Amino acid sequence: EVQLEESGGGVVRPGGSLRLSCAASGFTFGDYGMSWVRQAPGKGLEWVSGINWNGGSAGYADSVKGRFTISRDNAKNSLHLQMSSLRAEDTAFYYCARPSGSSIPSYFASWGQGTLVTVSS
């Protein structure tokens, strides 16, 4: 069974930094691209960033480009999102999502339960 477990969320002040992690199990992590998708409380879904199977290619939403960095460690079956220069509008649940294959543009067959990031002074 595919399992994705996010961690690292919390309360941070505007301008601060936070690192999210996603622990993957139940599948061969290195065979799949991975993405982060966020959802502000009571709002819709927004794709944040994605990375291909070996970390050689990554993409970002314009809203986070230059502030967030996605990375992965295939040896540890883990995905990360380094977030800096955080803004109030970054407040959201952040989901780790696995697409159908090794590349980034895909639908998301599996999702974690999400971790909440709150940016507030």
Partner 1 sequence: EMVMTQSPATLSVSPGERATLSCRASQSVSSNLAWYQQKPGQAPRLLIYGASTRATGIPARFSGSGSGTEFTLTISSLQSEDFAVYYCQQYYMWPPLTFGGGTKVEIK
Which residues contact partner 1 (rule: CB under 8 A)? Answer: 35, 44-47, 50, 59-62, 95, 99-100, 104-109, 111-114
The least distance separating partner 1 from the CB of residue 89, rounded to whole angstroms, comes to 16
Beta-strand runs (E) in 54-102? 58-60, 68-73, 78-83, 92-99
- Nearest CB to partner 1, comparing residues 27 and 60: 60
- Nearest CB to partner 1, comparing residues 57 and 120: 57
CA-CA distance, 80 to 82, in Å (whole number)?
6
Q: Which of 65, 70, 35 is nearest to 50 (CA)?
A: 35
CA-CA distance, 117 to 11, in Å (whole number)?
6
- Nearest CB to partner 1, comparing residues 41 and 75: 41
CA-CA distance, 35 to 50, in Å (whole number)?
4
The least distance separating partner 1 from the CB of residue 20, rounded to whole angstroms, comes to 15
The least distance separating partner 1 from the CB of residue 75, rounded to whole angstroms, comes to 26
- Nearest CB to partner 1, comparing residues 29 and 93: 93
